[in-house]
Amino acid sequence: MIYLAHGGFWIFAGQTISSLSVFVVAVAFANLLPQETYGAYKYILSLAALFAVFTLPGMTHAVARAVARGNTSVARRALRWRIRWSLIGSAIAFLGGSYYFLNGNTQLGSALFLIAATLPFYDTYALYNAYLTGTREFKKQTLYHLTTQSLSMAALVVTLLLTDNLFLILFAYFVPVAIARFVIFRKTVPQTEPAAQKDEDDITYGKHLSVINLLGVVASNIDKVLLWKFLGPAQLAIYAFAIAIPEQVRGPLKGMSNIMLPKFAVQPAGDDGRYPTPHAFWYKFLLYAAFLGSISLVYIAIAPFLFMFFFPTYTSSILFSQILALGLVTGAQTMPATLLTAQRRAKTQYVLSVIRSTVQIILFVMLIPLFGIMGAILATIVTNTVNLISTVIAVVIK
């Protein structure tokens, strides 16, 4: 509890302020940008997330785990691997941009060129967060995160006040943060002598986690692509605002995995090679779930007032947002999922990821053409419930 209070203060403070800054940007988008332009913006960000699978995002957890166990040299080597693989995503984005340009769609073409140029920097250099998680420097991690978040918010709000040009808005989203992350990484992560075998094992684990997360990334973004295709940018904008606040309500809780991972990672295996479940784990899990449930009820009650005051052009998103908030309790899945990561149970994580992502993709493909936004909401709730139950079972049966 002392560890939670010490590290949790900075994590929760940072995530809370971050969520508030995202909220401010959302208010700006809702009141300064046409729905069609905002829908196109969200569609481009979904494409960027799909291209980012080539940046080996699983390295984040692998590096945090390795650093927590004393192997600090892996961070810079993992960065080099991420940059190399990101070039594949950049090449695909460039080809996609060329295709759109040749077909007369300069808006999407220029957006994809921007993604191609920033992909090797935007996500990869955020690896300093994993290093700071492993060293348990939560205060420094929070201050750096707030710096990049403030920079992003200022750039986006100023741009929105001046123009509704999609390319300039995307430029303000990607470029300032990419530069800030590059500078912070160079300042934060030291040059250390490589521990060859340890580095190799941890890099391999990071690659495995990246493959495990591949379907998950597709599943997390295919809803926007399908809504864009079947309903158009305006309806995609309504959906984006319906899910935005529940996602930001989870914001202060996302840091829980950063607090838990170093603690779980140093736990030794038993004589049989298996890792025991931490003391009072399930009791804390139930408390966490109950806490999330109470947050869900509060949000459902105040959602109409939030939308009518801050997002008056998106009041049609209220019901969708309230229904989605019912599933906030499934966010308790973070605890058992982080335990599996700390124990390097890659095969189990792979199976769970395939189950979750397959269910989500199938439900999106089936329900969005039939029920539109409501289909996407229901698919998300069902998927998160399946994910919670299957992850708990995986921890129990070991």
**Domain locations in the chain as residue ranges:** 2-397
Helix residue ranges, H only, 271-372: 281-310, 318-325, 334-342, 346-371
- 192 pLDDT higher than 90: no
User: How far from 65 is each of 11, 191, 208, CA to CA, in Å?
Assistant: 18, 18, 14
CB 184 within 8 A of CB 128: yes
- Residue linked to tokens 């710096």: 147
d(CA 119, CA 125): 10
- 112 pLDDT higher than 80: yes
CB 189 within 8 A of CB 75: yes
Which residue type occupies 369?
Answer: P
pLDDT tens sequence across 235-244: 999 999 999 8
Average pLDDT, the chain: 84
pLDDT tens sequence across 14-46: 666 777 777 888 889 989 999 999 999 999 999
pLDDT at 194: 58
Residue 366 CB neighbours (<10 A):
12
pLDDT at 167: 94
d(CA 246, CA 243): 6
pLDDT tens sequence across 245-265: 888 766 555 556 656 666 666
- Residue linked to tokens 């994910």: 387
HSE-up (13 A, CA, CB side) for residue 115: 31
pLDDT at 204: 82
Split at pLDDT 50, 70, 90, the class of 13 is low
pLDDT at 73: 78
pLDDT at 136: 78
pTM of the model: 0.81
What is the sign, positive or negative, of the torsion defined by CA atoms of 296, 298, 300, 306?
A: negative
Q: Using CB atoms within 10 Å of the CB of residue 268, give its burial: 0 to 12 exposed, 13 to 18 middle, 19+ buried.
A: exposed
pLDDT at 275: 60
d(CA 199, CA 179): 27
Which pair of structure tokens corresponds to residue 313?
């052009």
CB 253 within 8 A of CB 59: no
